[in-house]
Amino acid sequence: MNNGQENRIFAVWLYDSSMTESKALILGCSGLALTPDEKAFYRENRPWGFILFGRNIGDAAQITDLIASMRDCVGWNAPVLIDQEGGRVQRIKPPTLQAYPSAQVLGDIYRQDREKGLRAAWLMSRLHAFDLTRFGFTMDCLPVLDVPIEGASNVIGNRAYGHDPAMVTEMGKAASEGLKAGGMLSCMKHMPGHGRGMADSHHELPVVSASREELEAHDFAPFRALKDEVCGMSCHVVFSAYDAENPATTSETVIREVIRGHIGFDGLLISDDSSMNALKGTLGERARAIAASGIDIVLHCNGVMEEMKAVVAEVNPLTGKTAERAERALASIRPADGASEEALRAEFNALLPTA
């Protein structure tokens, strides 16, 4: 990539005053291109950002066009997110992009050779940045800082680097730095920790009964170590030691005492998907509870129009501390480091175990 290309990519993310007219909301869409109804809805309701899933992914030109059309609707270079982790959570797959390994595979490299493992984590994220900035993405929802325990739900599983909080912290930091080196935002997830959940929060509500001491030493530790990151995503998990009724995403107590308090995170806090079945109530009730908890940005992913209408009715404009955090996040993006993609890709592939 030449300097002119780097400067153009960087210029995309410069703060735009149009952001102040946005709602504290990230939305998905239904397919490969925006429908007329979606365009009208986004123009009227102005979400702060957008997120793409597998149903939205075709070839390279289609992805680029879809992202551009989303931004056209809101009139500024709004953030566009994706979950491009590797392994089973890779929204853009071959042949459009290389197949990347799971975090567990990178963790296996670390367990054999710490320095090689950290380098592999950095390299994979740096390659994600090469891949994703070409399409116009702003943020990759990485790193996964959850630390699973024995018997936990497989919803995290091999998406985690391992079972040791110190190792997960190191690998997560390397992954985040790789994205930043490539001119992208990272978003650590799932705060304050999904690793102990015995249920898949896409389908039901996990309840964790561990003590505060256990949670602070194990589950919360990687997030506390990376508290200065500018973006994080919540989890739909009940931590009974703090709030026996509400999952973290809708718990004012967990947001205040754990995420903002014990962990010390003052970055932009995005909810996990409000359409996941761990949350109770209508979509409007869920959005209202998320906004009331202290979460900055409500996320709704599935692109179902009736659900989006219910959510948007409960979400306020981007103001106050949330607006400051959002502006700080976008302002943190720096030009890519000018590294050679060919050289880094060859180095990364050489580190991977052969099947």
pLDDT for 203 equals 61
Q: Coil, strand, or helix at residue 78? A: coil
- Cα–Cα distances in angstroms (integers) from residue 248 to residues 83, 232, 258, 269, 341, in the given order: 20, 13, 9, 12, 39
pLDDT for 18 equals 60
Cα(339)–Cα(177) distance, integer angstroms: 14
Report the Cα–Cα distance between both ends of the chain, in Å, rounded: 32
pLDDT for 247 equals 94
Tokens in use for 339? 């590294």
pLDDT for 202 equals 73
Active site residue 194: no
pLDDT for 76 equals 95
pLDDT for 109 equals 97
Q: Which of 135, 113, 140 is nearest to 124 (CA)?
A: 140
pLDDT for 4 equals 37
For the chain, domain boundaries: 94-136+144-351
Q: Report the CATH architecture of 94-136+144-351.
A: Alpha-Beta Barrel (3.20)
Sign of dihedral through CA atoms 46, 184, 81, 297? negative
Bin 284: left if φ > 0, else alpha if -120 < ψ < 50, else beta.
alpha
Series of mean pLDDT values for 10-residue runs along the chain (355 residues) = 39 51 95 98 97 97 98 97 96 96 97 97 98 98 94 84 97 98 97 82 80 96 98 96 95 97 98 90 94 96 96 95 96 96 97 79
Cα(197)–Cα(212) distance, integer angstroms: 15
Concatenated DSSP letters for 154-167? TTTGGGSS-S-HHH
How far from chain centre, in Å, is Cα 329? 13
Active site residue 202: yes
Cα(40)–Cα(42) distance, integer angstroms: 6
* Catalytic residue of the set 72, 108, 202, 266: 202
* Catalytic residue of the set 140, 272, 273, 296: 272
Place of tokens 């304050």: 192
Backbone angles phi, psi at 71, to 5 degrees: -65, -35
pLDDT for 211 equals 96
